[in-house]
């Protein structure tokens, strides 16, 4: 079905992104997966294309775009190519919104030019070894000492944590609260601060080229000027961006499932079994037809959510619906498409195998499918 979201400017940008990914990313995926991360210079190359500064205000070297559609194009083209940009998408779509919303003028002058030119990339450190999704159970602490916050704790599963120059750390700055969701603050830890160390680049099932780190903070003195937003209000600040974060995951799920369908179509047209093309078997036709129908339904949901996000009307429940539906669909479609590849689908040299492994985490990060169902059920007043 025709998508009417995008203008000629969007499509020109899409073409540039597609060419860049085809030339600079896709050929290097095997090496990057073996290394467990993309090279740091990738982020300066994407900045030269204008990707990093899409929503950075013009006075700091960015494009100053208010629409998320250009970000969505980058996510889609990366997914269509079965590619990976490391922690860049988390930086652009999950972390930068906190800077855009809560950074003061001094912080903007200090950090935004680096965001635009690719010399600064950020990550966010929420999850802890013992708390998982329970942000209110945060054990990492920061105590005020003069002009500094003294930060102690550990974080895990931090996407982009190896390559990031700035880490937005969620820490408990006060225990004198009635609601345990209060008393959390966002502190920006900079690369090289004494006491800040990066542990393992975690060995994951999929997303091999996307660095995922363990981080430790041992009496790290974070200047008070690195407090992002209002002290003690991190919980509400974090939840405010959840709709965009979850829609980002839905867009990626939709794009990678589309890539799987295209890979399967190409494969079954060429593969011969029992003297016939795999594409000629009725079961193949029915399986791929079912996948195509599911993709159309999820695309409609994604596009409506993208419109609502730009209009400022995307609710947490609607974002949860998009993430739940698209990630569950992604799992089904990629699994069916891998099945049509037969034994070759299980070989990592085939992109479908990488897509299969990469897709599994979509139903976990950004809130599990079970959490999405809980959010949706609350909107039903259940």
Q: Tell whether the torsion through CA atoms of 140, 143, 144 and 145 is positive or negative.
A: negative
**CA-CA distance, 166 to 158, in Å (whole number)?**
12
The DSSP string of 191-257 is TT-TTEEEEEE---SS-TTS-EEEEEEEEEEEEGGGEESSTTBHHHHHHHTHHHHHHHHHHHHHHHH
Structure tokens at 349: 């040299």
**CA-CA distance, 37 to 117, in Å (whole number)?**
20
**CA-CA distance, 63 to 76, in Å (whole number)?**
20
Place of tokens 């159970």: 137
Residues 6+ apart with CB under 8 A from 140: 128, 151, 152, 153, 154, 155, 169, 170, 171, 172, 217
Structure tokens at 154: 């550990």
**CA-CA distance, 366 to 239, in Å (whole number)?**
11
* Closest-CA residue to 183 (of 143, 134, 225, 233): 233
Beta-bridged to residue 143, according to DSSP, are 150
**CA-CA distance, 86 to 97, in Å (whole number)?**
18
Task: Clarify whether 245 is annotated catalytic.
Answer: yes
Query: At 182, is the secondary structure helix, strand, or coil?
Result: coil
Total residues belonging to the chain: 382
**CA-CA distance, 345 to 325, in Å (whole number)?**
24
**CA-CA distance, 212 to 158, in Å (whole number)?**
5
DSSP label of 73: H
Q: Tell whether the torsion through CA atoms of 365, 370, 374 and 379 is positive or negative.
A: positive
Burial status of residue 91 (CB atoms within 10 A of its CB: 0-12, 13-18, 19 or more) = buried
Which of 77, 245, 290, 370 is an active site residue? 245
Which residues are known to be catalytic?
245
């Amino acid at each position: 079905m025709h998508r009417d979201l995008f203008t000629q400017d969007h499509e020109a940008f899409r073409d540039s992104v597609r060419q860049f990914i085809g030339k600079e990313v896709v050929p290097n995926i095997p090496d990057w997966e073996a290394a467990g991360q993309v090279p740091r210079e990738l982020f300066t190359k994407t900045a030269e294309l204008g990707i990093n500064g899409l929503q950075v205000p013009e006075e700091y070297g960015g494009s100053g775009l208010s629409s998320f559609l250009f970000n969505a194009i980058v996510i889609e083209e990366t997914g269509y190519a079965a590619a990976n940009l490391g922690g860049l998408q988390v930086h652009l779509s999950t972390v930068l919104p906190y800077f855009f919303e809560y950074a003061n003028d001094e912080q903007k002058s200090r950090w935004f030019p680096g965001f635009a030119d690719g010399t600064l990339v950020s990550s966010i450190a929420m999850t802890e070894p013992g708390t998982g999704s329970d942000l209110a159970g945060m054990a990492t602490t920061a105590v005020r000492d003069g002009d500094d916050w003294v930060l102690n704790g550990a974080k895990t599963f931090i996407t982009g944590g190896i390559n990031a120059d700035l880490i937005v750390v969620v820490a408990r700055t006060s225990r004198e609260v009635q609601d345990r969701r209060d008393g959390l603050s966002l502190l920006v830890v900079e690369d090289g601060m004494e006491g800040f160390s990066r542990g393992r680049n975690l060995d994951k099932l999929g997303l091999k080229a996307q660095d995922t780190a363990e981080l430790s903070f041992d009496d790290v003195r974070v200047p008070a000027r690195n407090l992002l937003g209002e002290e003690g209000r991190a919980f509400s600040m974090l939840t405010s961006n959840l709709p965009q974060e979850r829609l980002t995951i839905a867009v990626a799920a939709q794009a990678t499932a589309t890539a799987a369908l295209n890979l399967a179509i190409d494969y079954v047209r060429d593969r011969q079994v029992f003297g016939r093309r795999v594409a000629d078997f009725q079961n193949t036709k029915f399986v791929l037809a079912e996948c195509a129908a599911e993709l159309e339904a999820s695309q409609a949901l994604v596009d409506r959510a993208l419109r609502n996000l730009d209009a400022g009307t995307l609710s947490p429940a609607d974002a949860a619906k998009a993430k739940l539906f698209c990630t569950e669909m992604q799992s089904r479609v990629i699994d069916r498409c891998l099945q049509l590849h037969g034994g070759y689908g299980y070989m990592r040299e085939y992109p479908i195998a990488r897509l299969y492994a990469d897709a599994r985490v979509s139903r976990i990060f950004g809130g599990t499918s079970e959490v999405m169902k809980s959010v949706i059920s609350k909107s039903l007043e259940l």
